[in-house]
Structure 1
Amino acid sequence: MSSAPRGPAWFTTGVLTLCGMIVSLQQTLVIPLLPDLPEILGVSADDASWLVTATLLAGAVSTPIVARMADMYGKRRMLLLSLGVMTAGSLIAAVGGSFVPLLVGRAMQGFGASLIPVGISIMREQLPRERLAGGIALMSATLGIGGALGLPLSGVLYGAFGWTSLFWSTAAVGAVLIVFIRLAVAESPQRSPGRFDVVGALVLSVFLVCLLLALSKGASWGWGGPRVLVLGAVSVLSLALWIPLQLRTRAPMVDLRTAVLPPVLLTNVASFFAGFAMLLNSLITTQELQVPTDTGYGLALPVVTAGLLMVPGGLMMLVFSPVSSRMLNRWGGKPTLVAGLAVMGLTYAGRVLAPDSVANAVVGSTLVSVGTAISFAAMPVLIMSAVPRSETASANGVNSLVRALGTSSASALLALLFASLTVSVDGVTYPSAAGMDAALWAGAAVCVAGTAFGLFIPVRGYEAEPDPVPGPVAESGGASGSPDRAAPVPGGAGYPRPPREPTGT
């Protein structure tokens, strides 16, 4: 039997959504501080950049591990653990006063990244079926909402109360959410059997750390430099070791046999491209709004103004979450995913052709955010419709990791393009108009690729026949008599169609 929520569905949805929002919010809070942190902390600019890299690495490594542990040891327990580590990291960063405590705190904050896949898996168990698609859409939208609000909010807090206020605020919100989770979320009785795959987790961590370090530091270290080459080689070797290890392990860290099923594999590939396009939108728009007009495309706006102009995109992700929910219930996960990616791709192409103006930049960024909200809402639905209940958190964790790899790849590609195509204005080097156009075309290309993969996802949509094994959900996680079945998910495989109207007399 599935766990019963401790509070009403709206309260559970609200608490889990706030968890997702604080995760995406704290990832962007330090970005406006980066120019001032070297002077504040007495370190170099390269050292200060580790305050962003540490959070990225910790989040990427912890997400699949925490998600797997959630399936094995309890989703509510791991939700509280992740939020507790994130809150403790905020406190350490706030009271540390120097670079090392701040770096440790930022790494601990990265553990919050697992809150989103674990939160979505809790929604699957505790929300009524008619509210599930809406909850998933809202939870997925928090990635953009928090990111868009983080930049202007951090500027306001930093200017009014100093840099430590950023971490005091996230610590306070984290503490409140811990209380709310204990009130709103019941522990799931379902458990994935077996022992935790420690060796698999360690090898996967080595692979992710080496790969993400190479992607995030390649521009500053040099793509052909020895450090990047060594990291690349170690990541390839660790992946080559990890794959057969997972196939031989009885309870693997990631069930690769499930991961290569066409619905899961193609959804994850499309998710990679969607994550790529999402981050590229923020980076390109911020660049366009701030660089001088003499570059041929820049709008020369102050940092605070540019940050405020990013807010509409985040708010539109919130506005479109109920629209995404209706699309999921009416059309299913596959058409919704494809529609979102198509909106993003068409917008990127349109931005290349549109004249440079503040209005066009904001409208273009907002439309990409709308496409992001739609496509991100569909991903968990497609994943959950293809995997057993006992692997819900783990499968969503892998999907979140794949999206994170997409965002890291976007940052690396943009750094390469902007470093290769430059223009000098008053002795300062900026990316050229050709570099900006190349970045926009790259965004359109990855959306086309994501759409193509999405079209081949083999799912039965909303109009599918009812699950052939009816009955109540067993504690083991599946339908009665079939413990490994995936429970019906709105818009996914096995979701029963509405009852037919009677015909005749």
Structure 2
Amino acid sequence: MKQPQEAVPVARSLPILALAALAFSLAQTSIVPAIGQLAVSLHTSTQNVSWTLTGYLVSAAVLTPVLGRLGDMFGKRRLLVVSLVLFAAGGAVAALGESLGLVVAGRVLMGAGGGIFPLCFGIIRDEFPAGRRPGAVGLVSATAGIGGGIGLLLGGLLVDHTSYKWIFWAGTAMALIAAAGAQLVLRESPVRTRGRVDVPGTVLLAIGVTVPLIAISKASAWGWGSGRTLGLIVGGLLVLVVFGLVERRVKEPLVDMTVLARPPVLITNIATLLVGFSMFGIFLLVPQLAETPKASGYGFGVDATQAGLLMLPGSLMMIFFGPLSGALTRRYGGKVPLALGGLATAAGLALLAVEHGSQAAVLGFTMVVFSGIGLAFAAMPNLIVDAVPAAQTGQATGVNALIRSVGSSLGTQIIASILAGSVTAASPLPTDHAYSVAFAVGAAGGLVAAVAAVIIPRASRHPDPSVLQAAGAVAQPGGPAPATDQAHPDSTRSR
């Protein structure tokens, strides 16, 4: 009789978690169509306005694992509400800001929403029945792509018909609704990791992630081979090496490096980097291709709204393929949908590289790409959740989300560089061949992700929190962590 009783909170909780994830993912791309309007309204250049994207990305990358770790320590529902409130406050600051500095500051504050994904995954791991977890994780994961695609359409509609400020107000409203729902409906998990905040680790991680991401985001302007770009990338990577060495010696680390070094976690994170690379490549390529004037010989000459509509069917495909990935995970393990997702992503991008001369072709092949991304994005956190102890779900999925952000930044900037490299004084628009090369590079990323998925080893089993609690073994705040390498019957499989 226990399962029917648990199904009611799941039915109420899952929409709240999905809304929280949607608010963050919409904000990733909805600002893109507004870059030009922001530059005019704030009396600055589009290059300066790009800091609204960079600041958001860097802030989210740094805060995602930090908030995931804090959720493991102090309660995942509590930190989810905090993340949503900070996100909403940032949206309000950006909407009210009349200077570039204030708008960027608001976007940086919105980056706290990056903690939403690991906290949602932790809540699902701790509170949902074992049979419902893969599908729930799949749906929440799929919103990363769904929101990214819909965000382009929403941003285009608001820019074409109202003001960019409504992009920020919409995110604020969604986050506040989700925060209220989380506080009123969700239960706080008893699964905790004792410890204190690792301040040195947090500072090192912030520097090590921020510096290379800033370099990558500005590489198109500075040049990939410039001393400034290479120096910041190398410097940041050295700081991350120091971070790893320090975390191995800290009693209560921000990130448990031994967990991240486990082959199922490590290889899943590599696949995550590559799928994130491919996804944000298509977010950049398709709208830019669609908005290129017809006089170019290959563009469609549409406005931002119509470009967003080209992405919409593919984004909506993820509503189906995310939960389907969860079902495949329950039956075959997470590596199967991850491999299939990588292959589908690669196939769709390869087809776009060969044929992108009509709106019908772009719409159809984009749907193939997003089907693959839906399968892959849903499988990745399921693989992570299944491979780590319950008390470390937040930090492990937080690092996974960070790596996805890094992949997204790499994809955006490398593909932007490919397009920019084809521009000449005589021809200020990228060439059609450059788009073909860029789609092909994205396809290569998806294909390598599929290969990585195939070699993911089977994860060790970790006990269900409810099983431990029944045995009196759940870690309480301030108490010792339970043993986590036992088998338990309710765990999903990872092959």
Q: Is this a same-fold pair by TM over 0.5?
A: yes
Deviations 1:289-346 (A, max 9, x none): 2223454532222222111111111111112233222212222101111011111112
- Matched with 1:85 is 86
Task: Return closer, same or farther for 1:197/1:431 CA change in 2, 3 Å cut-off.
Answer: same
User: More deviation in 373-382 or 44-53?
Assistant: 44-53
Q: How do residues 216-231 of structure 1 correspond to structure 2 at under 5 angstroms?
A: 216-231=217-232
Whole-angstrom distance in 2 between the partners of 1:298 and 1:491: 46
Deviation at 1:483, TM superposition (A): 2.4
Whole-angstrom distance in 1 between the partners of 2:462 and 2:26: 41
Task: Return closer, same or farther for 1:280/1:329 CA change in 2, 3 Å cut-off.
Answer: same
Contact conserved, 1:331 with 1:491, CA < 8 A, in 2?
A: no
Deviation at 1:247, TM superposition (A): 1.1
Contact conserved, 1:324 with 1:374, CA < 8 A, in 2?
A: yes
Whole-angstrom distance in 2 between the partners of 1:213 and 1:466: 40
**Which amino acid is 1:50 matched to?**
W
Deviation at 1:160, TM superposition (A): 4.0
Q: How do residues 112-131 of structure 1 correspond to structure 2 at under 5 angstroms?
A: 112-131=113-132
Task: Return closer, same or farther for 1:6/1:190 CA change in 2, 3 Å cut-off.
Answer: farther
- Matched with 2:182 is 181
Contact conserved, 2:290 with 2:301, CA < 8 A, in 1?
A: yes
The answer on 1:22 being equivalent to 2:29 is no
- Matched with 1:441 is 440
User: More deviation in 248-257 or 352-361?
Assistant: 352-361
- Matched with 1:332 is 333
Contact conserved, 2:90 with 2:110, CA < 8 A, in 1?
A: yes
The DSSP-based 3-state class of the residue aligned with 1:422 is coil
Contact conserved, 2:208 with 2:236, CA < 8 A, in 1?
A: yes
- Matched with 2:428 is 429
Contact conserved, 2:149 with 2:315, CA < 8 A, in 1?
A: yes
**Which amino acid is 2:173 matched to?**
A
Contact conserved, 2:64 with 2:401, CA < 8 A, in 1?
A: yes
- Normalising by structure 2, what TM-score? 0.92
The DSSP-based 3-state class of the residue aligned with 2:44 is coil
Structure 2 stretches of 5 or more lacking a match?
A: none
State the identity as a percent.
33
Structure 1 stretches of 5 or more lacking a match?
A: 495-505
Task: Return closer, same or farther for 1:299/1:483 CA change in 2, 3 Å cut-off.
Answer: same
Deviation at 1:287, TM superposition (A): 2.3
**Which amino acid is 2:16 matched to?**
V
Q: How do residues 95-110 of structure 1 correspond to structure 2 at under 5 angstroms?
A: 95-110=96-111
Whole-angstrom distance in 2 between the partners of 1:19 and 1:7: 19
Contact conserved, 2:474 with 2:481, CA < 8 A, in 1?
A: no
CA RMSD, 1 decimal: 2.6
Contact conserved, 2:193 with 2:481, CA < 8 A, in 1?
A: no
**Which amino acid is 1:229 matched to?**
L
- Normalising by structure 1, what TM-score? 0.90
Task: Return closer, same or farther for 1:140/1:490 CA change in 2, 3 Å cut-off.
Answer: farther
Count of equivalent residues: 484
Deviations 1:353-404 (A, max 9, x none): 3362111101111111010000111111111111111100110001111111
Contact conserved, 1:84 with 1:174, CA < 8 A, in 2?
A: yes
- Matched with 1:277 is 278
- Matched with 2:248 is 247
Contact conserved, 1:132 with 1:490, CA < 8 A, in 2?
A: no
Contact conserved, 2:37 with 2:159, CA < 8 A, in 1?
A: no
- Matched with 1:454 is 453
- Matched with 2:483 is 483
Whole-angstrom distance in 2 between the partners of 1:289 and 1:96: 31
Whole-angstrom distance in 2 between the partners of 1:115 and 1:317: 19
Deviations 1:86-110 (A, max 9, x none): 1111111222322222111111111
The DSSP-based 3-state class of the residue aligned with 1:385 is helix
Whole-angstrom distance in 2 between the partners of 1:195 and 1:119: 22
**Which amino acid is 2:450 matched to?**
T
Whole-angstrom distance in 1 between the partners of 2:463 and 2:206: 40
